[in-house]
């Protein structure tokens, strides 16, 4: 059975979704760069080993990344899942885990990389927003896409209501992506393209506002 390590920085709601999803893999550990991350207690309550690599204890990003990689590798994971991990990783770290480092981002990438995605979407007046699971590359929030979920942006949405609607979909698609990876149904090929095996796609369209 494949093993994954989950990286968090805060409350870890996507981590919790993975813990509760009955994935076809073993969650070997949850690692945080903050000792006060709420998600650590959730992981411990599920009987998952935890570790802390406090970024503030390192002089630069390179030394932190080296310590983080050492901690990750001690658990011998097949995949590393970022779940609200709020540190930009160095190109060397990303290359170390090429094809095995996964992230979830609260927008329909490549739109709205970075922070404050929901407020930016509302400001721009988009009608469809969502979330993306992707392989991590040195180009921040622009790695090859595994799966996306789209939601309508409603006329009375606030940043909070839109965020909640997107988060609900995050909790659905992240476990699906990890399940595919652990079942060898998806991988990153040598050309940096996502390769699917034995997967059917729907032609369903989301139109927002809906047609008359």
Active site residues: 105
Eight-class DSSP state of 211: P
CA distance 46 to 44: 5
102 sits in which H/E element: strand 101-105
CA distance 196 to 25: 19
CA distance 153 to 162: 7
Q: Establish whether the linkage from the previous residue to 7 is cis, with ω within 30° of 0.
A: no
Token pair belonging to 91: 């190109």
Closest CA relative to residue 102, chosen from 80, 131, 69, 120: 80
């Amino acid at each position: 059975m494949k093993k994954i390590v989950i990286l968090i920085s805060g409350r870890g709601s996507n981590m919790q979704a993975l813990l509760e999803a009955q994935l076809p893999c073993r969650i070997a550990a949850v690692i945080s760069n903050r000792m006060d991350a709420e998600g650590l207690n959730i992981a411990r309550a599920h009987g998952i080993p935890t570790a802390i690599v406090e970024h503030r204890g390192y002089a630069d990003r390179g030394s932190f990344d080296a310590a983080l990689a050492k901690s990750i590798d001690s658990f011998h994971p097949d995949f590393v899942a970022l779940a609200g991990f709020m540190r930009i990783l160095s190109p060397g770290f990303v290359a170390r885990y090429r094809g095995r480092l996964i992230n979830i981002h609260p927008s329909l990438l490549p739109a709205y990389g970075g922070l404050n995605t929901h407020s930016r979407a509302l400001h721009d007046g988009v009608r469809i927003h969502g979330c993306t699971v992707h392989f991590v590359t040195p180009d921040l929030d622009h790695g090859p896409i595994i799966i996306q979920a789209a939601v309508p942006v409603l006329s009375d949405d606030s940043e909070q209501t839109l965020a909640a609607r997107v988060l609900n979909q995050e909790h659905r698609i992240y476990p699906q992506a990890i399940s595919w990876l652990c079942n060898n149904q998806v991988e990153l090929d040598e050309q940096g393209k996502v390769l699917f095996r034995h997967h059917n796609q729907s032609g369903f369209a989301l139109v927002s506002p809906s047609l008359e």
